Structure formats: C-alpha cells, structure tokens
Structure 1
Amino acid sequence: MKEELFGRHGTVNAETAIYTYGEMVYRLALIQMKNRSEADDVFQEVFLRLVKYKDRIRSEEHLKAWLLRVTLNCCKKEFDKAFRRNTVAMEKECKSEESYEMEMPGNPVYEAVLALPENYKSVVHLFYYEQYSVREIGKILEVSESVVKTRLYRGREMLKEALKGEWESAGRI
C-alpha cells in the first residue's frame, strides 16, 4: 500500500517522497554528474534537504519541481568545488558494477546526451526523459519558455550533428 505524500500536518513524508521520486532524482543526478558515486552523493544531499525543508512544500506538483531544482543546484555545486576542477573524470566505471536501467553502455544517443553542455543537457533530459513541458522546464530552471525552446533546438542540433555518422551507417545496413 502506497503511503500518502503529505502527512496529517500537511508536511511531506520524506520516505514516501523517496519512494515516489527517487528514481527521477537519481536519473537527473546521474546524467548531470556522469558518475555513480557523485550521483549517489547528490541524491543523498537532495533528500537531506527535503527533510530539512519539508514544511515549506505546498503540493505534490511543488514537491516535484522543488526536487528537480534542488537536484540541479546540488549538481552545480559539485561542479563548482575546487576538488572537482582539479580532477580528471574516469571514462567508464568498472564494467562489473550493475548498470542503472537508463544507462546503456555503448548507446550512441545516451553518450551524445551526456556530452552536451550543461544547459542543453538539463533541458534535453527534463524534456525527453522526464516528460516535462517547455513551460514546466522554464519554471524549474527559472528561465523563460523561449530560452527553453532555444536550448532544446540547439541541443537537438548538437545531437543531430554528434549522431550524424551513426544514423548514416545504420541506413546502409
């Protein structure tokens, strides 16, 4: 039986929020951070913040947008750390590690999305993987709808260019 997201006192039930939105938060953290351990850290930080600020959440729609915004902010904070700027990211984590369902090793589309610049990657992920509308993405990222449309267009163009060879060779087979 699924518990209610909001308790008797109108505050968010953090455990139910993790059950309901945990995969969404983890997918976004993973696509932003490109590293499981850092995505795990972001995931933990997001839900710790939820516990701290749960009395400020007004509705389920607000909760979902809040979680996405906090996830993106935590990812940005990780990228801004001096330690991260002075390290080199590993190309691939150990192959023996169980892969997350969205992550498909060798999938050219997945690899191309990961290679997009941060602004485009966020918009493409929210639009295609999380199924948000342009208006909702604008609210989550605190930008205008026209900015979202521009980033989607440019992100698609970058993906088209990056995948150009993949699709041409697939057509010949």
Structure 2
Amino acid sequence: MALRLIIGGARSGKSAHAQALAEAEAARRGGAPVMIATAEALDAEMAERIARHRAERGPAWRTRETPLEAADALRSLAATDCAVVDCLTLWLNNLMFAERDLEAATEALLCAAAESAGEVILVTNEVGMSIVPENALARRFRDEAGRMNRRAAERADEVVVMFAGIPLRLK
C-alpha cells in the first residue's frame, strides 16, 4: 500500500491535509479513516487539545491512542483502512522520555507502515529550520527528528510539505 509523509511547521495545515486525504481514500476503499494518535493528555491544556481534535474529526473516525506503540496499530489495519499517524514528533518525544531505542522504533514503524494492509499517512513537524536550541536535550530532539524525518521521506511513496496551508509535493 502507499505510504505518504506530510511535513511542515506548527499550524501549517499538516493534520487537516492528512485528514482530508484519509477521508477521501477511506471512502474510495469503502473503509473508515483511522487516527493513530500519539499525544498524551499529561496536563489540562493537552487534554483540551486532544478533545478538540477528536470532536473536529467527527464520528466517522476510529481513534487508536498509541503514544509509544504506533507500529502495532499499523499492523492491525484492514485493507479498506486509511490511517493517519499524528504525529511522529510527539511519538519521538514519547520514545525519548521512555528511553527507547529510537533507531529501532523508527525502523519498526516504517516497516509496519510499508507492510500495512491499509494506506498510511505519516504527519511530522519540521523542526530543523529554526534557531539552534539552547540546551542539549532540545538539540538532541531536533537532531533525532531530522534523522527520523529523513528516513521516513526516503521510504515514503509521496512527500508533501505544508506552508501556510498550501501543500507542496516534493516527491
């Protein structure tokens, strides 16, 4: 099945674009769009954000909350499904704080996406086009995100970057 990567900055329209693609693809396949959500409600603001996103998607969406095991969720997709993994950078953050092997987890995710019976759309943030972070943890996150995004882009059949709500196809 096809693997798509949607990348861009904060509030660039990545998720909205990915969701529109997934809804159209799921309808074409006769299935349902699936949200593989990597965020965790660790505080009230994030809980509110998650609730708002869920309400905006509506009842047609199936949601799998998987802060660490996104690869397992991809393996469970049916051929009629189109899944959005939103987002890889939050997933990376979760992996880092859980002290997981980032390279192995990324490889497992990309293999699961490639082998999935359904279509997969990965959403990720571009974090390397700004200033150099002031602390070691933030610099490590930026570097790891860049490596993860590069690996995902290499494996994706299609790569779209979002700028101010405008999708630009790179691959």
With the shorter chain as reference, the TM-score category is under 0.3
Of structures 1 and 2, the larger Rg is shown by 1
Query: TM-score, structure 1 length as denominator?
Result: 0.26
Is the strand fraction higher in 1 or 2?
2
Query: TM-score, structure 2 length as denominator?
Result: 0.26
Higher relative contact order by CA 8 Å / sep ≥ 6: 1 or 2? 2
